[in-house]
Structure 1
Amino acid sequence: MTDALTLAKAQEALQELGLNRCVDLLAPSAEWASENDATYIGFLVRLLESEIDERRTRRLQAKLRAAHFPYHKTLADFDFSFQPSIDERQIRELAHLSFVADGHNVVMLGPPGVGKTHLSVALGLEAIAQGLSVSFVTMQGLVSDLRRAHAENRLESRIKMYVKPKLLICDEVGYLPLDALDAANFFRLVSERYERGAMIITSNTGFANWGSVFGDPVLASALLDRILHHATTINIRGNSFRMKDKLRSGLAQSHVGVVAEQATE
């Protein structure tokens, strides 16, 4: 059998096994092995590692698409010097993701624009890099989705979809008050994830005002009991990043946002 026929036969076998990256790299890998006097094992390892790398990349891309992040921002992109109220060491510790493994929560409180969403996305990206499933949703998008599912008699399956990810990021809690149905649906979701799946929650509203947000102080108390039982609370006090350049150039007056209340367990 000629080298060309042998190569074609090997490519067909790899194709049948679903090793598509190996198919693409078989010929150049064989050439590399010949030029470098590689062993059969060395050639095989090189070929299979390329397949593993390709599959790892595809899985990562699939998880990124499934997460529905509003943008791609990492911890390296965050300007900690602009927000001195944030303990950078604490954020770096959270990036180790033990809170996700333990099914605990992170709550970020602070006025608009101080970096709550950026940090949440950055931690979500760290989780995906470690092979964990992540889902990002705004509070308004979440309750609208659950309300629709309730009307269509498929709330159960929709709740399960939000329970499934290892990390659920719920952004902008408290920006708009909720009606009784939306509040009840969110409470059920939090209850389903309690001690089973980690959450990152961002809010510009102090905990003392959650009774008004959820329209029921008793429900809000029960909700906070579950969220804060195993939680790290981060209070961010400072100016909006959207005003950073103007503030630094002296074109705008520094302003202090509403200070979120410190949570206690």
Structure 2
Amino acid sequence: MILQHERLKETFAEFGWSRIPEVFDAHAEEAAKLNIPYLEFLDKLLQEEIAYKQDRFVRMRTRMANFPYHRTLEAYDFSFQPSIDERRIRDLATLRFVENRENLIFLGPPGTGKTHLAVALAIEAIKHRYTVYFITAHDLVQMLQQAYVNQTIKQKMKALSKPSLLIIDEIGYRKMEEPAAHFFFQIVSERYESGSIILTSNKSYGSWGDIFGDSVLATAILDRLLHHSTTVNIKGESYRVKEKKKAGFFKPDPQAHEKE
């Protein structure tokens, strides 16, 4: 019996199984006690291993994706943002847009949950084994400028074209200088119909000429981004402002009632 147990351990190791060795004895005792059929016993063991490997895969890919934080769709308060159609977001979570190499743009004021939704959808993409990378527009510009100075720009551009889903967060908080704007155009062009992009921005499309400092360039960027895309406009109050109001940071103006 001991020899058989040792042989099983060696077999588990040979197959690269990590979870089954941890739960085998408990499941074996349960199967013997409850007279569980062999196939059911084997199925339970394999399902434990599959779930463990999937969880490990998701955690590893999530770390590699460079998210600023971990957010899920379940944690998003759709009731606070009635301008968003929850069914539409749930449909996006099926990831057909990633499969079809389409883009997704979230537009809205700061603090309305654009980044939250982008990260939540990206985590769903990781669960479905798509490759994902997250970066803010500010960090992207700095990274590309440094790569240009170091003469590694081609390698960086190639790396940014590889993920199934690239998230570029906070477009519009800072104006892009001419070289950075052209690099951005190249990224969008490289990924056109070959990989999905999620963008978040606090600026409407009509203001993108100001972001890139060139209305012609902005039009060319939008032409490629919007050809196969979905735009979600969020119109609502900032979550952060809401929480501060709850905490009493914003006091009502005693003269406001008199002015009405």
- TM range, smaller chain: 0.7 to 0.9
2:103 counterpart (102, 105, 130): 105
In structure 1, what is the Cα distance between the partners aligned to 2:191 and 2:113? 25
2:241 counterpart (236, 240, 243): 243
Q: CA RMSD of the aligned region, Å? A: 2.0
In structure 2, what is the Cα distance between the partners aligned to 1:221 and 1:51? 50
- Of 33-42 and 145-154, the range deviating more from structure 2: 33-42
Change (3 A) 1:12 1:105: same
Q: Tell me what 1:206 maps to.
A: 204
* Structure 2, unpaired ranges of 5+: 254-260
8 Å Cα contact 1:11/1:26 also seen in 2 = no
Q: Tell me what 1:30 maps to.
A: 28
> What's the CA shift for 1:189?
0.8
2:193 counterpart (192, 195, 199): 195
- Of 99-108 and 26-35, the range deviating more from structure 2: 26-35
> What's the CA shift for 1:128?
2.1
The within-5 A match list for 1:96-175 is 96-175=94-173
> What's the CA shift for 1:37?
2.7
How big is each residue's C-alpha offset from its partner over 1:135-177, in whole Å with a ceiling of 9 and x where there is no partner? 1110011121122222222222222222222111110011111
- Of 189-198 and 88-97, the range deviating more from structure 2: 88-97
Task: Name segments (4+ residues, structure 1) moved above 4 Å.
Answer: 246-250
> What's the CA shift for 1:252?
5.4
8 Å Cα contact 1:7/1:27 also seen in 2 = no
What TM-score do you get using the length of structure 2 for normalisation? Answer: 0.88
In structure 1, what is the Cα distance between the partners aligned to 2:236 and 2:28? 59
Q: Tell me what 1:183 maps to.
A: 181
Change (3 A) 1:30 1:112: same
Q: Tell me what 1:257 maps to.
A: none
What amino acid sits opposite 1:56 in the alignment?
Answer: Q
Change (3 A) 1:87 1:251: farther
SS in 1 for 2:48: helix
How big is each residue's C-alpha offset from its partner over 1:80-119, in whole Å with a ceiling of 9 and x where there is no partner? 2222222222222222221111111111111211221111
Q: Tell me what 1:85 maps to.
A: 83
8 Å Cα contact 1:106/1:201 also seen in 2 = yes
What amino acid sits opposite 1:202 in the alignment?
Answer: T
2:47 counterpart (46, 49, 60): 49
In structure 1, what is the Cα distance between the partners aligned to 2:64 and 2:230? 26
Q: Tell me what 2:258 maps to.
A: none
Change (3 A) 1:6 1:63: same
In structure 2, what is the Cα distance between the partners aligned to 1:128 and 1:114? 24
Q: What is the number of equivalent residue pairs in this alignment? A: 251
Q: Tell me what 1:71 maps to.
A: 69
SS in 2 for 1:5: helix
SS in 2 for 1:20: coil
What amino acid sits opposite 2:178 in the alignment?
Answer: A
8 Å Cα contact 1:110/1:237 also seen in 2 = yes
What amino acid sits opposite 1:31 in the alignment?
Answer: E
What amino acid sits opposite 1:76 in the alignment?
Answer: E
- Of 68-77 and 240-249, the range deviating more from structure 2: 240-249
Change (3 A) 1:181 1:88: same
What amino acid sits opposite 2:215 in the alignment?
Answer: P
What TM-score do you get using the length of structure 1 for normalisation? Answer: 0.86
Q: Tell me what 2:256 maps to.
A: none
